[in-house]
Amino acid sequence: MTLDQTLRQRLDARCRHNLYREVKTLDSVPGPLARVNGRELLAFCSNDYLGLATRPEVIRAQQTGAELGTGATASHLVNGHLQIHQQLQHKLAEVTGREAALVFSSGYMANLGTLCALLGRADNIISDKFNHASLIDGARLCGAYSLRFPHNDLEGLHRQLQRAAGRGGNTLVAVDGVYSMDGDLAPMAEIAGLCRAYGAWLMVDEAHGFGVMGSEQWPLAGSCAAVGLGQSEVQAIMGTLGKAAGNAGAFVAGSRTLIDYLVQFARPYIYTTGMPPAVAAGCVAAIDLMRSEPQLARRLEENIAYFRRRAAQQQLPLTDAPGAIQPLPIGCAETVMTVSAALERRGFMVGAIRPPTVPAGTARLRITLSACHSHCQIDALLDALSAVLRENHAVCR
């Protein structure tokens, strides 16, 4: 068979199982009104939790940043590192309560690069089964002995720490702070306690925690700070700049030594073109807004509470997810596609999440809330959801 024939067969199989994915082309960023094929849709699927992707102040800062040059023109270690990158890294360290931070071109690269730099064949990596794909791929690629535990199962983590201790080598535990498809939090304080007891290092992916939760002192730092954990308990945190910051890129924050080490050994940092200066400038402006407008995070909290209260009244199948990511379990991939198509006909865009992103039989709608949604928009979504789920007999309880 030719290459194309082989690939066509695999694609056809994906279609038959209702797992074929399509790229939607939008005319602008969904914030929260999006235009798709000339139609206006109300979006409940973006990770722009604070609405910073469309803030005029950020757009202006990014336009001005482009005057430094449209591209970094080389990797950070050659001549692609500008003052604006330095300023961004300094700010990221400051808001996360860490000694230093290092920018990467994406969260995917930051996770891959950090795991591969820190671990080798003699070491152990312990992961939650629901970790983001980038942590899973990093765990594979780094070559360390890979141990997994059932989602948020502390007993399971404990057992794997014992196994790792028996093998020798360094052990790193990697978890998401907020799980991207379930919206639930890792039991961070308990995980950190176990890591301390076993002398294991801890890395937390704060993709969905950075910018929207934290402590009184570090309100933007993420889910670890929210339970009082700092640099000595969580040696490495990864935050993306494509979610609450509404931009692109990512960072790792930790001790000065960790960051010095990553500059030397993180291959996805070393062997790629530096972050465009304009992106760094936009991110600096976005973080300034996060700090000067704490009401944005408060409004998001309020919207989450409102959504959950109203959804419970309408007996929608809510989970315990406390944050901006609100999954509605559906089950089979076919139904989730039918339901999301029906929602789109009614003018709503929500995420339809299927395997392999989530385990088979756990397809779901993934609704994300933003500080920019109005109560009226949330009500409209809930009415449409109730009607569509009823029509499709998709309410499972």
Q: Are 97 and 244 in contact (CB under 8 A)?
A: no
Q: How far is the CB of 193 from ligand PLP (least distance, A)?
A: 22
Cβ closest to ligand PLP, residue 227 vs residue 342: 227
Q: How far is the CB of 391 from ligand PLP (least distance, A)?
A: 31
Cβ closest to ligand PLP, residue 204 vs residue 229: 204
C-alpha of 79 from chain center: 30
Cβ closest to ligand PLP, residue 247 vs residue 303: 247
- Contact residues: ligand PLP, CB under 6 A: 106-108, 111, 132, 134, 176, 180, 205, 207-208, 240, 242, 250
C-alpha of 282 from chain center: 19
Cβ closest to ligand PLP, residue 134 vs residue 338: 134
Cβ closest to ligand PLP, residue 280 vs residue 389: 280
Cβ closest to ligand PLP, residue 46 vs residue 180: 180
Q: What is the DSSP letter of 45?
A: -
Compute the C-alpha angle 132/116/145, nearest 5°: 80
Amino acid at 56: P
Nearest partner of 201 among 254, 132, 277, judged by Cα: 254
Cβ closest to ligand PLP, residue 227 vs residue 250: 250
How many of the other CB atoms lie within 10 Å of CB of 59? 14
| b/e 132-142 (16+ beta carbons within 10 angstroms → b) | bebbbbbbeeb
Q: How far is the CB of 37 from ligand PLP (least distance, A)?
A: 25
Q: How far is the CB of 137 from ligand PLP (least distance, A)?
A: 10
Q: Are 117 and 171 in contact (CB under 8 A)?
A: no
What are the structure tokens assigned to 306, written together?
């409102």
Q: How far is the CB of 366 from ligand PLP (least distance, A)?
A: 11
d(CA 43, CA 54): 14
Q: How far is the CB of 67 from ligand PLP (least distance, A)?
A: 25
d(CA 152, CA 328): 19
Residues 6 or more apart from 241 whose CB is under 8 A from it? 103, 247, 248, 249, 250, 251, 279, 283, 286
d(CA 85, CA 88): 5
Cβ closest to ligand PLP, residue 179 vs residue 394: 179
The residue sitting closest to ligand PLP, measured at its beta carbon, is: 107
